[in-house]
Structure 1
Amino acid sequence: MATDVKDTAHAVEAAAVMRLLPARPRLLALGEPTHGEDALLDLRNELFRQLVEQEDYRTIAIESDCMMGLVVDDYVTSGTGTLDEVMEQGISHGWGASAANRELVRWMRAHNVRADNDGRPASERLRFAGFDGPLEITHAASPRRAIAALHSYLAARVDADLLPCTADTLDRLLGADDRWTDPAVMMDPSQSVGQSAEAGQLRLLADDLVALLDQQTPHLLATASREHWDRARLYGRTATGLLRYHHWMADTSTARMTRLVGTRDQMMAHNLLALAERGPALVHAQNAHLQRPKSSMRMGGVPLEWWSAGALVSARLGQEYAFVATALGTIRHQGVDTPPPDTVEGLLYALPEDRRLIDAPRLASALADIPPAPRVSPWFGYAPLHPGHLADIDGIVFVKDVPQS
């Protein structure tokens, strides 16, 4: 069995990833089993550089607020702001403080400027995107920014009598933003405004604004840039997604959390499908957001199952979506020590190299007679690879030991 496992291993390089796939995918998803480890983000950065230089990839999308990501994209494409500003304002969940994320953004801007300081043509520029909704574990953002931006875009370009409402009406219905962002709502649905009469009216108006955007597409593309139209679509997706998320935050049924995690991944999927229209992109997020089988977790002791963004996108794109999971041996600074030898991670840990790319379907075939045991993590922040998912993964990046960042 050890020989069979070794035969599935390759160097961690973009070219080796592509050899595992039937064709270059529009979305190449690289998952991670834990957040906040710069060693994994450095590996992601190097893979993206190779994809840019060898495979003409131009976009990277990470598990971060899609609205905040526009700040980073403006910086890497046109130099708007400073690196310090965009790292603070453009990446959510506190991940702007990561040295590896900072290096990614710095390198993308330098690549777009070129050595002669003459910017690359728009078609050759690298692009950055967040593809998560404006959501945190404790709360969701107010829909104000997204719905107001969509209304402003349309008000400047279409006849006023086509608009379903005025900006003042939206402002009145939205009220104070802290009503929407109150962290008490996550534990107490009765505190949510998501099923109030005002929220119901906002959902209808957001739907009408998105419909108007769609109806006026020929005019909008003829009178303004496609880039602005794409952003307006992002505003529409975000406004409707946030209002739906807030609606379910007010839900008191036993399905509340399942609906919330499902809505979040649905928002992610819609953003990824829009990015796929632009051209090939590397996508980076937690494995559970990118896998093809149903995702699962326990929250407050309650088991949850939902279809991830990757599962939803894969169902739409087929072979134009590829998923490479990352698996780890140890994270000793978090109490994750050498994996048991009968687990997937334990079998891969026996390989001599520190980092290897594994042909996951071939590994699944090699282990078919003696299925590996599931690994149990002693730390809540790390999710081991599910041994039953091997056949549904295109590749595995295995990192033997993760040093402390």
Structure 2
Amino acid sequence: MPSSVHDAGWAFADDGGLGAALKGFLQSLTTRPRLLGLGEAMHGEEALPRLRNQVFQQLVEHEGYRSIAIESDCVAGLTVDEFVADGAGSLDDVMRRGFSHGFGESAANRELVSWMREYNTGRPVADRLRFFGFDAPLEMMGAASPRDALTALHGYLAAHVDGGLIPCAADVIDRLTGDDERWTNPEAAMDPSRSVGSSAEVTKLRLIADDLQALLVAEAPRLVAATSRDDWWRARMYGRTAAGLLRYHAGMADTSAARVPRLMGLRDAMMADNLKAIVESEARRGPTLVFAHNRHLQRDVSRWQLGGQALEWWSAGAIVASQLGDQYAFVASALGAAPQQGLDAPPAGTLEGVLSALPDNRYLLDSRRLVTALAEIGAELTLRTDDSTNYGYFALDPDHLQESDGVVFVKHLA
């Protein structure tokens, strides 16, 4: 292996070296990012969120990071944040109610929550770590009812502003929402005619959500003074979530060929809005680490071949990067072999194949230096096409390597 590729980053062993690698990487950036994205190469592999935990601990203890955001329901995440702040509730209950996508069953996530709670114990409020979910309340086969988010926003406003300014009574929201089961019907994921999104009730609820959000902004001075900046921020999150869910349900009712990419884009747009709000709220405390699948954090356009249709949409990372500029940095992750996930050693002519020829097992690589090193050795790389048994591994595209700031590479997952 030519030394230029080896020298494109920092090797770190399981028992150390990660702190030095992170420090070297952060110093290589032109600007200290306010939001550092760490991509996950595939879901369902505990070694990756455990590596995330190690990264976060190093960033907290040595780089001033005070919050983490993960690819999980933003509303459910409030339960986790309350627990890590002051121990509210039990850990078992928090893991059950505080995560979406089954992530509460992850041992690594449980370890993260426990460590954050322990770190916060006895610390002043201003120095405590915060936990955020930044995904919408969505699952693969459906989206949540907007009832909880709309009701929470309405209740916050009703408690602190003149009732005449509020566009409707709380029971109107309940009546228009109806049974929650009609919103979460899994058949609507594949059949637009089964979606509630084209109903007159959704149109009315979207107007109500818009009016409530506008009132929240118009009355911000009064509301922040009467409650707190954090309470007002949380109400804004409820408003974003309600409006986003209603928009998503309307998209589920779409019968055009653009339906699926539109839904993909709407989800990532909601993620991006949540990330920007987190960065805004944490600006005075320190940077935030965000952890999600590579596809949600990458800067280049997302592409997916579904049947005979080529889908394209912009990820949350791309949207955030377009607005934050170099205040957003993205480190992708890539794997060599993961036998327990059915992923064999990569072919030699792929990016993962080249990196697998490096002597150590784990690396943090500077993408710019890696691109230069690959050019120096005349590497002509192709996209890796083998897949894991859970179909969750998406190979890094060597043609878009320069659109990341770094790459965490793990040669072999035992």
- TM-score class, shorter: over 0.9
Runs of 4+ in 1 over 6 A off after TM superposition: none
**Counterpart for residue 375 of structure 1:** 384
Task: Indicate which of 111, 114, 121 corresponds to 2:119.
Answer: 111
Amino acid at match of 1:331: A
Cα distance in 2 for residues equivalent to 1:150 and 1:15: 41
**Counterpart for residue 116 of structure 1:** none
Superposed CA deviations along residues 325-350 of structure 1, whole A, max 9, x for unmatched, are 00100111122111111111111111
**Counterpart for residue 245 of structure 1:** 248
**Counterpart for residue 185 of structure 2:** 182
Task: Indicate which of 86, 90, 99 corresponds to 1:91.
Answer: 99
Q: Aligned to 2:173, what secondary structure does the other structure show?
A: helix
Aligned residues of 2:176 and 2:201 also touching (Cα < 8 A): yes
Cα distance in 2 for residues equivalent to 1:269 and 1:133: 10
Task: Indicate which of 287, 290, 294 corresponds to 2:294.
Answer: 287
Task: Indicate which of 144, 149, 153 corresponds to 2:152.
Answer: 149
What root-mean-square deviation, in Å, do the aligned CA atoms of Structure 1 and Structure 2 show?
A: 1.1
**Counterpart for residue 411 of structure 2:** 400
Deviation at 1:382, TM superposition (A): 0.8
Matching of residues 3-402 of structure 1 within 5 Å: 3-11=3-11, 12-13=18-19, 14-113=22-121, 119-277=122-280, 278-279=282-283, 280-368=287-375, 369-379=378-388, 380-402=391-413
Cα distance in 1 for residues equivalent to 2:408 and 2:387: 22
Amino acid at match of 1:33: A
Cα distance in 2 for residues equivalent to 1:88 and 1:16: 38
Amino acid at match of 2:305: R
Cα distance in 2 for residues equivalent to 1:94 and 1:301: 30
Aligned residues of 1:361 and 1:392 also touching (Cα < 8 A): no
Superposed CA deviations along residues 154-195 of structure 1, whole A, max 9, x for unmatched, are 000100000011101000100000010000001110011111
Cα distance in 2 for residues equivalent to 1:81 and 1:24: 36
Deviation at 1:300, TM superposition (A): 4.4
Deviation at 1:370, TM superposition (A): 3.1
Q: Aligned to 1:253, what secondary structure does the other structure show?
A: coil
Amino acid at match of 2:373: A
Cα distance in 1 for residues equivalent to 2:341 and 2:334: 15
Deviation at 1:226, TM superposition (A): 1.1
Amino acid at match of 1:377: D
Cα distance in 2 for residues equivalent to 1:2 and 1:82: 52
Q: Aligned to 1:211, what secondary structure does the other structure show?
A: helix
Percent pairwise identity? 58
Amino acid at match of 1:370: A
Cα distance in 1 for residues equivalent to 2:118 and 2:268: 32
Deviation at 1:210, TM superposition (A): 0.3
Cα distance in 2 for residues equivalent to 1:189 and 1:2: 54
Cα distance in 2 for residues equivalent to 1:8 and 1:276: 30
Q: Aligned to 1:261, what secondary structure does the other structure show?
A: helix
Deviation at 1:377, TM superposition (A): 2.4
Amino acid at match of 2:333: T
Aligned residues of 1:8 and 1:359 also touching (Cα < 8 A): yes
Superposed CA deviations along residues 228-261 of structure 1, whole A, max 9, x for unmatched, are 1110010001000000000000000000001100
Amino acid at match of 2:383: P
Cα distance in 2 for residues equivalent to 1:143 and 1:300: 31
Amino acid at match of 1:237: R
Q: Aligned to 1:80, what secondary structure does the other structure show?
A: coil
- Which stretch shows the higher mean deviation, 37-46 or 295-304? 295-304
> What is the TM-score normalised by the length of structure 2?
0.94
Deviation at 1:9, TM superposition (A): 2.2
Amino acid at match of 1:254: A
Aligned residues of 2:387 and 2:394 also touching (Cα < 8 A): no
Cα distance in 1 for residues equivalent to 2:120 and 2:42: 30
> What is the TM-score normalised by the length of structure 1?
0.96
Amino acid at match of 2:126: S
Deviation at 1:3, TM superposition (A): 1.9
Aligned residues of 1:20 and 1:395 also touching (Cα < 8 A): no
Aligned residues of 1:64 and 1:92 also touching (Cα < 8 A): yes
Deviation at 1:17, TM superposition (A): 2.6
Q: Aligned to 1:374, what secondary structure does the other structure show?
A: coil
Aligned residues of 1:2 and 1:347 also touching (Cα < 8 A): no
- Which stretch shows the higher mean deviation, 31-40 or 255-264? 31-40
Gap runs ≥5 in structure 2: 12-17
Superposed CA deviations along residues 266-311 of structure 1, whole A, max 9, x for unmatched, are 0000000001111310000000100111011133443211010000
Q: Aligned to 1:384, what secondary structure does the other structure show?
A: coil
Deviation at 1:16, TM superposition (A): 2.4
